[in-house]
Amino acid sequence: MKVILKDDVKGLGHMGDVVNASDGYARNYLIPKNLAAEASTKNIKELEHNKKIILEKAAKIRDASKESAGKLAAQTVVIKAKVGEEEKLFGSVTSMDIAEALAAQGFEIDKKKIHIDEPIKRIGEYVVHVKIHAEVSAPVKVHVVPE
């Protein structure tokens, strides 16, 4: 079934694309969640008319994400953790810990959008990446200090 995407759908396409989706996926998920519309001739003509509006909306979202990324990149997150011998942590600093510390600073970030390159198991400074938008990510400094 051909559908017109009203929003970005991971693994399928971007906003404004006309794509083929399985009938069940389109009828049971995409259309009820208002992520897509059936690609009839009327809807395709309407899409051509609204394409400019859709592109402007996507550009505004991208610009807002870049602005948020700039603010987020300027932040340094301080996390206090229990330390044992040789400055090793008991456990490790997780993306949930970083998300909570960012929430305390006023940034509501989902823990799934925080990418830690390697496990943080010692005190020190680390850089983690936060994916704000499909095209925008921001580096955040994490400073782990002993409790």
Each residue's pLDDT, cut to its tens digit, for the chain (147 residues) gives 999 998 888 899 988 888 999 999 999 999 999 999 998 888 888 888 777 887 888 889 889 989 988 998 898 999 999 998 888 998 899 999 999 999 999 989 999 999 999 999 999 999 999 998 888 899 999 999 998
CATH code given to domain 2-65: 3.40.5.10
User: Does 2-65 match 70-146 in CATH topology?
Assistant: no
70-146: which CATH topology? Ribosomal Protein L9; domain 2 (3.10.430)
Length in residues, the chain: 147
One-letter amino acid of 109 = I
Is the separation of the CB atoms in 139 and 129 below 8 Å? yes
Please name the residues in contact with 97: beta carbons below 8 A apart, sequence gap of 6 or more. Answer: 79
Long-range contacts of 59-66 (CB under 8 A, 24+ apart): 61/133, 62/133, 62/135, 62/136, 65/132, 65/133, 65/135, 65/136, 66/136
CA 83 to chain centre: 32
Is the separation of the CB atoms in 49 and 39 below 8 Å? no
Place of tokens 């259309």: 31
pTM score above 0.75: no
Retrieve residue 38's tokens: 């059936």
Parse the chain into domains and list their residue ranges. 2-65, 70-146
